[in-house]
Amino acid sequence: MSTLQAVVLGIVQGLGEFLPISSSAHLIVVPWLLGWPEHSLAFDVALHLGTLGAVLAAFAGDWIRLVGSGLRCLFRGTPFAEADARLLWSIALASVPGAVVGLLLDHWAETTFRSPLLIAVTMTAMGAVLWRADRDGGAGDAPGSVTVRDALLIGASQALAIVPGVSRSGATISTALFLGYRREDAARFSFLLATPITAGAALVKVPKLLASGATDGVFLGIATAALFGFLSIKLLLGYVRTRNYRPFVLYRFAFAALIVAVFLVRSAACDRFLS
């Protein structure tokens, strides 16, 4: 992989991880569109180190407060006494479904799920879900805290993101909107929830990448993902305070249409060549 390819994919990862457009779909489709050689899922996860750094930097104060509250309450024998402690345990609970599904379907994630046409379908379907959630959800008063039920439902939706095109942030934000959370609160919980699942994936996959001989381009890609991931977090949180998610829905539909159009053109060209 060239340095240019690593940087471009780092930008794709940084923007796609936190905007509800699916970073995994773009990491598969962009090289496919440009005719670049396919890279491994381990490289995808390596780029997640960059976005892990981005979300840790963006929410450093939140994590210090949450972990401090969680440990303080735990040592007192009242683990749920404070709101921040309850939020910490909600994040931990919501992370379980994604971790379990990721371990069970890891092989499929590296093979079957990397089909451009499958991605076109999931991009469209999740676009429709996000549109409906943005239109009908989040209209009432936001819940005062994340309940056990909400944590499990949002965590279960995050597990669906193992299929490229679903989008981890898109699925969790949509679910939170359906549950009545405001747009900004849904995005904030989604970003906090990204931390443990991304860290877990990195622990499993990155050692394999390093063992295979990571290049300078890979580390540059990780740094690029961190920078653009941080910018996309700030962009989305600022944007949804006063606006809706509709532009991301339209982008999903357009991206899916592009995939189908390119596939049909290439198939027609192949048929003419064989005939």
pLDDT, tens digit (0-9, with 9 covering 90-100), for 57-76:
999 999 999 999 999 999 99
Asked if residue 218 lies in contact with residue 1, where contact means CB atoms within 8 angstroms, the answer is yes
Q: Which amino acid is at 203?
A: L
Tokens 């700030």 locate to 234
186's tokens:
């849904």
pLDDT value, residue 41: 61
Residue-level length of the chain:
275
Domain enclosing residue 247, as ranges: 3-274
Question: Count of domains in the chain?
Answer: 1
Q: Tell me: the pLDDT tens digits for 185-216?
A: 999 999 999 999 888 877 776 676 666 665 66
Dist. CA 162–CA 230, nearest whole Å: 22
The pLDDT, as a whole number, for residue 245 is 94
Q: What is residue 216's predicted lDDT score, i.e. its pLDDT?
A: 65
Q: Is 32 helix (H, G, I), strand (E, B) or coil?
A: helix
- Give φ, ψ of 245 to 5 degrees: -90, 10
